[in-house]
Amino acid sequence: MPALLGLEIPEIEQLLGPGQPRFRARQIYSALYRERHSDLLRLSNLPLPLRRELAATHAVGLPVVQRRFDSADGTRRYLLELADGRTVEAVFMPEEQRQTICISTQVGCAVNCKFCLTALLGLERNLTAGEIVGQVLLLAAGNQLAAEGQRLNVVMMGQGEPLLNLPNVLKATRILLDPAGCGLSPRRITLSTAGIIPGIEELGREPVRPKLAISLNASTDEARRELMPIARKYPLRELLEVCRAYPLRPWERLTFEYVLLQGVNDSDADAHRVVKLLARLKCKVNLIALNPGPEIPFRTPEPDRVLAFQRILKRAVPCFIRKPRGLDIFAACGQLRKISSPA
Ligand code: SAH
């Protein structure tokens, strides 16, 4: 059965046909994304025959929780089953001041970064807009978040490269940010990319878009090409040029992520080069000490090294260390590979 999740109002109008009053589409849209109904028969402001017909011909299309892994730190990793039986992961991270949901944009990933476990899955397929939104709805409902989602952050940093599935990512973003839809704040949704230049340019032209984070991960082209084969296609000079031309909103700045790998890209000289690369950019840096995994041929630097690297960057640019979440259940950055045993 076709899914309703992922549809925007004009598409719902079209599906209902001319026999229904126009406000019906808005009612259904609101029931799906704002009220987060998962049972079509319960949409009590619709006439019963319409409810029955909808339920007989369409699914809501929420993913189904196949397994949930709970970390000692409160993080929850979900293995979600999609309509075609494929599975994908999403992560819920509670904090005192806010809650963050990390969602996937593809099943697996094609980008093949050498430090990332998801790369070992390869790419199975793109997620639809409904499957992307569905992860947020499901995890929000499962963790009793306020209906308005005011303190809810969404990061597109799970499986997949969002800019290689841009049309679906943009559609999902419009629904997530629409006050009549999920109603998230535009400051609270972020997309992370390995640095797909044409995708960044395209994103910048969109009126409704997430904030942008870029995985830098190295201070020279040579090192970056080794770690991220995609960098052969998109060299640093061009990448940073596109970043400087990126049309930031007045309140916005770019985020650069930098995975620290012991003895590979974590020297003082690397830090000084990063400072140079990021000159003249309105940005901040998130450092991520490697989250290890089976078959990942790198080591996590000592905490002192991470702090020393941060100190150098901090003189030039706001720089934070991303605290790993859910390391014990393979839920942290770069660990999403559908692993079912504890670490
Ligand atoms: N494909 C996107 C989003 C997914 S990765 C991207 O590349 O940005 C999200 C972040 O996790 C990226 O910054 C990536 O560099 C980082 N990451 C990947 N593997 C990691 C690992 N093993 N340890 C720490 N961070 C990792």
Query: What DSSP letter does each residue of 21-73 carry, written as one string?
Result: -THHHHHHHHHHHTS----GGG-TTS-HHHHHHHHHH-B----EEEEEEE-TT
Residue whose CA lies nearest to ligand 1 atom number 5: 157
SS3 77: strand
- Verify whether residue 35 is a known catalytic residue: no
CB atoms within 10 A of CB 187: 12
SS3 259: strand
Q: Is it the case that residue 328 has pLDDT exceeding 90? A: yes
C-beta separation of 88 from 77 below 8 A: no
Look over the chain and give the mean of its residue pLDDT values, rounded to a whole number. 95
289-316 residue pLDDT tens:
999 998 899 999 999 999 999 999 999 9
From 109, 113, 243, 333, active-site residue? 333
pLDDT at residue 240, as a whole number = 98
Tokens representing 73?
């730190």
- Verify whether residue 283 is a known catalytic residue: no
Residue whose CA lies nearest to ligand 1 atom number 3: 157
Residue whose CA lies nearest to ligand 1 atom number 10: 333
SS (HEC) of 190-204: EEEECCCHHHHHHHH
C-beta separation of 334 from 111 below 8 A: no
From 13, 89, 161, 257, active-site residue? 89
Q: How far is CA 178 from CA 174, 209, 249, in A?
A: 6, 11, 18
Q: Is it the case that residue 150 has pLDDT exceeding 80? A: no
Give the distance, in angstroms, between the CA of residue 275 and the centroid of all CA atoms in the same chain: 26
Tell me, using a 6 A CB cutoff, whether residue 336 lines ligand 1.
no
Cα–Cα distance between 308 and 102 in angstroms, integer? 28
The atom number, within ligand 1, closest to the CA of 291 reads 23
pLDDT at residue 146, as a whole number = 54
Residue whose CA lies nearest to ligand 1 atom number 17: 334
pTM above 0.85, yes or no: yes
The atom number, within ligand 1, closest to the CA of 286 reads 13
pLDDT at residue 149, as a whole number = 47
The atom number, within ligand 1, closest to the CA of 290 reads 23
Angle, in degrees to the nearest 10, between helices 166-177 and 129-142: 40
Tell me, using a 6 A CB cutoff, whether residue 334 lines ligand 1.
yes
Cα–Cα distance between 110 and 113 in angstroms, integer? 9
190-221 residue pLDDT tens:
999 999 999 999 999 999 999 999 999 999 99
Residue whose token pair is 């830098």: 216
C-beta separation of 319 from 260 below 8 A: no
pLDDT at residue 144, as a whole number = 76
Tell me, using a 6 A CB cutoff, whether residue 288 lines ligand 1.
yes
Pocket test for ligand 1, best of 127, 197, 259 (most atoms within 8 A of CB): 259
Tell me, using a 6 A CB cutoff, whether residue 99 lines ligand 1.
no
CA Rg value for the chain: 21
